Amino acid sequence: MVQSRHYALAREAILRSLVAFTGITTADGAVTNDTLVCSALIGSNDYISNKAILILSGNARGEDSGASGFVAGTGTITVVAAFGARILAGTVFMVLNVSSVEIAVAAINAKIGTNADAAGTTTLFAWFANLLGVLALETTLGTHDTDIKALLATIAAYIDTEVAAIKTQTDRLAGATPGVGTATENWNAAEADIVSIGADNTRNKVHSLVVDISAITAASVITIRMYMEVNGVERKVYDQDFTAGTDPDGLWIVNGTVGIHEVLRVTAQSDTPGDDGRAIAYDYMLEAM
C-alpha cells in the first residue's frame, strides 16, 4: 500500500506548523556545548528564545534543548541545558514552534525557591519563612502560646507537604530521558519489533517518535505499525507504508502529544529480502503523568 497524496500533503502541513526555522550552523559553538551560530539568523527578530532547538546532525544528533537567548548581531543561540557535544559548523538544526519545557520548569522552580531563602524575598519558601517567624511570639506569650505554636506547626507541615507534591509534578514537565536506540531484525522475513514505549498500567505522554529508515534498501516499501492493548487485548492502532529513498530517512511517526497507559509497541516490515539484518534507529520523548 503506497501512501496517498492527501496523507503526504497533511504531513507536510504539520511539519511546516511545527518548524519555525531550519538552518546549518556557520561557525563552531562554545566549548561549553550550549551555543550554536548561524549567520542566516543575523538581523532576525527574536522569535527563537523560549523555543525548542532540535539538532539533526553531528555528534549531538537527536538532542534538543530550550533556547534561553538569541543575539541577532551574530546569529548566536544560547540554550538552557548544554548538548552532549559541541555544536560545530555545518550542523543541521531546527527551531521548533514548541515552548521549551526546560525554561518553563526553571521559571516555576525559581518561584518556588528553596528552604534556604530568607524571609522578605519573593519566593514561596520565603513567604513560609515569614509565617514561621510568628513562632517568635513565644518569648512574649509565655506559657499561653502552646496552642498557637501547635497550630502554626501543623500549618507549616501541611504547606511543606503540599509544596513538595507541587514540585514533584512540575519536575515531571522536563520529561524522561529520551529513548534512543537501534533495532536490527530480519524485516522482510517477518514483521519485527523496533521498540516498545511505556509500561502496562502506567500513565505517560508520548510527545514524539522518529524512526530512521536510512539503512533500508532504496525503493523498498517499509510498513510501520503500532500496537497497544485496548481493554486488555492488543490491537493495531497505526499502519502506514513508506518508500525508502522517496520518503524522508527520518519518519516522524508521532509528532504530537498522545496519552497512553499501556505499552505502545512499534514494528516494521519490508517488502525487500535484502533488508533482513539491517538496522532501524529510533528516538522518542516520554513524560510521566
Provide the residue-wise pLDDT of the chain in tens; the chain has 289 residues: 444 444 444 555 555 667 889 999 999 999 999 999 999 999 999 889 888 899 999 999 988 888 989 999 999 999 988 999 999 999 999 998 876 666 666 667 777 767 666 665 667 766 666 666 655 555 555 545 566 667 777 777 878 888 777 777 776 666 678 899 999 999 999 999 999 999 999 988 888 899 999 999 999 999 999 999 999 999 999 999 999 999 999 999 998 888 899 999 999 999 999 999 999 999 998 888 7
C-alpha cell of 20?
Answer: 519555525
Nearest to 212 by CA among 204, 202, 222: 222
Helix (H, G, I), strand (E, B) or coil at 34: coil
Predicted local distance difference test score (pLDDT) of residue 5 = 47
Report CA Rg, the chain. Answer: 25
**Half-sphere exposure (CA, 13 Å, Cβ side) for 209?**
21
CATH architecture of 179-288: Sandwich (2.60)
Nearest to 67 by CA among 32, 101, 18, 31: 101
Domain ranges of the chain: 19-99, 104-172, 179-288
Distance of alpha carbon 206 from the chain centroid:
9
What is the DSSP-derived secondary structure letter of residue 118? P
For the record, the C-alpha cell of 228 comes out as 497497544
Q: At what angle do helices 124-132 and 101-112 cross, to 10 degrees?
A: 10
pLDDT at res. 6 = 45
Task: Count other C-beta atoms under 10 Å from residue 235's C-beta.
Answer: 10
Identify the pLDDT of residue 168: 72
Q: How far apart are CA 70 and CA 191, in angstroms?
A: 46
- Residue at 6: amino acid letter: H
Residues 6+ apart with CB under 8 A from 150: none
pLDDT of residue 246: 96
**Strand intervals (E) in 100-188:** 179-186
Give me the pLDDT at residue 56, please: 92
Q: What pLDDT sits at residue 129?
A: 66
Report angle CA 194, 200, 203 to the nearest 5 degrees.
100
Residue 268 main-chain phi, psi, to 5 deg: -145, 155
b (16+ CB within 10 A) / e for 141-161: eeeebeeeeeebeeeeeebee
Give the DSSP per-residue string, 174-227: T-PPPEEEEEEEETTTS-EEEEEES-TT--EEEEEEEEE-TTSPTT-EEEEEEE
Instruction: Report which of 249, 254, 279, 248 is spatially closest to residue 266, judged by C-alpha positions.
Output: 254
Return the half-sphere exposure (C-beta side, CA atoms, 13 A cut-off) of residue 218: 2
19-99: in CATH 3.90.930: no
CA nearest neighbour of 241 among 217, 263, 269: 269
CA angle 197, 270, 8 (to 5 degrees): 75
